[in-house]
């Protein structure tokens, strides 16, 4: 088996070494490995996985808290409730949307409100590009499933529209159809 890191991975050890070690661990254990089992193996300084982890607890704790902050920002939603008028038969309407989206501002990753992202053509374009990248990763992960071929065709069509000359209304209509 040949192992490689996926594009953008920033892992300090060889993918081949990591893949072989994890497969050997899986074989030795006789089942699929868990995160904990990989970490337990990596704690041994002689393990080839050891250098892939941060062992300085203060640095690791700070990174974990940054991950928690990112999780907090990604999980926060805004709820808009349109209250039902007492004399109407229609039920109230509840809308839930993400409160913040990750964007790049001044060459740095930042979180901006959904309302601001949708009002700014530049930030909206970033969001569409991010959606296209997410869809591409989904396609790469599940490309062996023939049952998803129609979904993949739609993803490909969406990606092609994003690479066309910028016609904001066309991009918005396509994004709305894809959503």
Q: What is the pLDDT of residues 79-111, one digit of tens each?
A: 877 776 677 777 667 788 888 888 888 888 889
Query: Is 35 a residue whose pLDDT tops 90?
Result: yes
- The pLDDT, as a whole number, for residue 18 is 97
Distance CA 9, CA 25 (A): 22
- The pLDDT, as a whole number, for residue 171 is 41
Query: Is 77 a residue whose pLDDT tops 90?
Result: no
Q: What is the pLDDT of residues 45-54, one digit of tens each?
A: 999 999 999 9
Distance CA 97, CA 117 (A): 12
- Cross-strand bridge partners of residue 93: 82
The pair of three-digit structure tokens given for residue 146, joined into one six-digit string = 């023939």
């Amino acid at each position: 088996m040949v192992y490689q890191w996926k594009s953008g991975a920033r892992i300090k050890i060889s993918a081949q070494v990591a893949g072989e070690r994890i497969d050997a661990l899986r074989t030795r254990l006789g089942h699929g490995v868990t995160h904990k089992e990989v970490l337990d193996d990596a704690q041994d300084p002689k393990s080839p996985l050891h250098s892939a982890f941060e062992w300085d607890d203060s640095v690791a704790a700070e990174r974990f808290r940054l991950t928690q902050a990112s999780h907090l920002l990604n999980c926060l939603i805004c709820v808009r409730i349109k209250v039902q008028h007492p004399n109407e038969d229609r039920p109230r309407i509840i809308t839930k949307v993400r409160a913040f989206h990750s964007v790049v501002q001044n060459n740095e990753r930042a979180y901006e409100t959904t309302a601001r992202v949708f009002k700014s053509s530049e930030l909206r374009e970033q969001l569409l590009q991010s959606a296209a990248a997410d869809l591409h990763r989904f396609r790469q992960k599940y490309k062996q499933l023939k049952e998803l071929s129609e979904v993949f065709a739609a993803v490909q069509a969406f990606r092609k529209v994003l690479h066309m000359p910028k016609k904001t209304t066309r991009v918005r209509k396509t994004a709305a159809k894809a959503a």
